[in-house]
């Protein structure tokens, strides 16, 4: 396996490929995290894809960058991304990947969202994160960054049979890279609170796979059925023993879904 990392003049990118790598796959992490969360899955997926992992602006090795809105964030990611790729986004990363599929379709071969939602904030009857929870994260973030991130990691793994181990892996990955800057953390929370792509989803032209964890406390599993109605041409898979991070809890099953998607499309 060949691995390389570069910031060029923009965001930090890491590429993994082997002699059997074929098409390009971009992995986008979630809020408060960085590209290191993909370490285990990227090693397996690089047998089939040329895997590109980005640290989003404000996070990890891209911590000195920032973004004003979703399109500004997307433009920074697209600047050094492959010309055309399958885009896989986890949580907030799924929102970013979906935005790119909608507004820059010429760059997208396929879309895979993981534990993600087109609208993270709860709005009756839509299921999601309660506004007061997002507000609490914002105020706690300003007071105690470390504690807020730890709570968020615990929330992501809650309900999973391997929760303690998942949190340990998440924590180690996140802390292996520079601390995110607070502006980016707050801007990311604003995206989770404000962005709503529900009415646009039927315009996504690329083949789409949606992956969920049955025990997810942040993206309720019923969101899967709701999005199915909005994107009838997409396919979905639910990981029975996973919460918000199925690529850690059910690593082999997760990679299998992503590999099968490539083989079909």
pLDDT, position 175: 84
pLDDT tens-digit map of 209-250? 999 999 998 899 999 999 999 999 999 999 998 889 899 889
CB 43 within 8 Å of CB 1? yes
The structure's pTM equals 0.93
Is 234 a residue of the active site? no
**Spatial CA neighbour of 114 closest among 73, 159, 156:** 156
27 membership: H or E segment, kind and range:
strand 23-28
Q: Write down the catalytic residue from 91, 98, 116, 160.
A: 91
Q: Which tops the pLDDT comparison, 88 or 141?
A: 88
Torsion of CA 97, 16, 149, 240, to 10 degrees: 70
For 190, list phi and psi in degrees, rounded to 5.
-65, -40
| Domain with 164 in it | 2-264
Residues in the chain: 265
Is 62 a residue of the active site? no
Q: Write down the catalytic residue from 216, 234, 242, 243.
A: 216
pLDDT, position 3: 58
Is 61 a residue of the active site? no
| Number of domains forming the structure of the chain | 1
The three-point CA angle 45-51-56 to 5° equals 120
pLDDT, position 64: 95
CATH number at residue 157: 3.40.50.1820
Look-up of token digits 């500004």: 72
End-to-end CA distance of the chain: 24
pLDDT tens-digit map of 172-201? 888 889 988 889 988 999 999 999 999 999
């Amino acid at each position: 396996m060949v691995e390389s990392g570069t910031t060029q003049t923009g965001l930090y990118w890491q590429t993994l490929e082997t002699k059997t790598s074929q098409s390009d796959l971009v992995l986008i992490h979630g809020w408060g995290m960085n590209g290191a969360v993909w370490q285990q899955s990227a090693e397996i997926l690089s047998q089939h894809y040329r895997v590109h992992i980005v640290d989003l602006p404000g996070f990890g090795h891209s911590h000195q960058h920032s973004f004003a809105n979703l399109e500004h964030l997307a433009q920074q990611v697209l600047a050094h991304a492959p010309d055309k790729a399958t885009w896989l986004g986890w949580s907030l990363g799924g929102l970013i990947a979906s935005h790119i599929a909608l507004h820059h379709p010429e760059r997208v071969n396929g879309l895979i969202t993981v534990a993600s939602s087109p609208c993270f904030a709860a709005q009756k009857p839509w299921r999601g994160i309660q506004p007061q929870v997002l507000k609490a994260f914002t105020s706690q973030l300003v007071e105690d960054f470390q504690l807020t991130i730890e709570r968020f990691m615990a929330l992501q793994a809650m309900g999973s049979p391997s929760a303690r181990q998942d949190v340990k892996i998440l924590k180690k990955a996140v802390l292996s890279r520079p601390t995110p800057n607070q502006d980016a953390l707050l801007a990311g929370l604003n995206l989770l609170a404000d962005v709503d792509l529900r009415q646009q989803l039927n315009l996504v032209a690329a083949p789409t796979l949606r992956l969920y964890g049955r025990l997810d406390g942040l993206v309720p599993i019923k969101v899967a059925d709701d999005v199915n109605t909005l994107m009838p041409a997409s396919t979905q898979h639910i990981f029975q023993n996973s919460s918000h991070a199925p690529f850690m809890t059910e690593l082999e099953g997760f990679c299998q879904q992503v590999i099968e998607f490539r083989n079909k499309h």
